[in-house]
Amino acid sequence: MNNKDWSTKLTDALWAYRTSYKTPIGITLYRIVYGKDCHLPVEIAQIAYWATKQVNMNYDDACKARKLALCETEELRDEEYDCASAYKSKMKKVHDANIRLKNFEVGQKVWLYNTRMKLFPCKLKSKWTGPYLVFGVGNHDQFDIEDFDDHLRQVVNGYRLKPYLKTKDIHNVDKESVSFVVTSPVYEYN
């Protein structure tokens, strides 16, 4: 297979995707749409024989069977919704268990995450700027910071901050609780 004939494989890929079991919802997409499991083309002969036997039903029984199938489809969708919500709640518990709260104090040095670096990607440039000085702590994880160079003050959310550590501070800190930024040394030329 080369890169030019991908469109010929698209229908097979979609078929495989729609008939594969999805863990978050606990069901296949095919079963959600059609209310029954997917049958492979090999099984078509058996299904055709079964269908000819079912055609000879009377209309009242066919109507009752169709209503029953519709109710089963609604129950199936409700079941899928419960599976999806249970999966989401489990994933939220796992995510929330890994969240570490950030506590910064007034006078502490911090790094600030530069969100504009996403617009202008540079491989070797650090996305963290600083150091900044925390001079105020607000409600809802908001911090007032001040730049050392030009003394500009700004209010930022705590998720954009992390502690600034010097090399002598690194040896005294629990390494799992802090992430580090490696910067190149600043050289002064006279």
pLDDT by residue (tens digit) across 79-105? Answer: 888 988 899 999 999 988 887 767 888
Kindly list the domain boundaries of the chain, sorted by start residue. 11-97, 109-170
pTM of the model: 0.40
Provide the pLDDT for residue 145: 92
At position 135, the amino acid (one-letter code) is F
Question: And the tokens for 181?
Answer: 């930024």
Question: Measured at the alpha carbon of residue 118, what is the angle toward residues 117 and 120, in degrees to the nearest 5?
Answer: 65
The predicted model gives 20-46 an average pLDDT of 78
Mean pLDDT within 60-68: 80
77-108 residues labelled b (16+ CB within 10 A) or e (exposed): beebeebeeeeeeeeeeeeeeeeeeeebeeeb
Q: Rounded to the nearest 5°, which phi and psi values hold at 106? A: -65, 130
User: What is the SS3 assignment for 112?
Assistant: strand
Region of poorest pLDDT, from 102-111, 131-140, 172-181: 172-181
**Alpha-carbon distances of 147 from 70, 135, 164, rounded to whole Å:** 65, 10, 13
Given this model, what pLDDT does residue 91 score? 92
CA distance 162 to 179: 8
Question: How does pLDDT run across 142-171, given as a tens digit for each residue?
Answer: 899 998 888 889 999 888 898 888 766 555
Cβ 180 vs Cβ 130: under 8 Å: no
Q: Which fold has domain 109-170?
A: SH3 type barrels. (2.30.30)
Position 54 scores a pLDDT of: 64
Closest listed residue to residue 112, CA positions, set 150, 146, 149, 151: 146
What angle is formed at CA 10 by the lines to CA 44 and CA 87, rounded to 5 degrees?
80
Note if the bond before 163 is cis, omega within 30 degrees.
Answer: no
Cβ atoms of 51 and 65 within 8 Å: the answer is no
Nearest CA to 25 out of 81, 74, 106 is that of 81
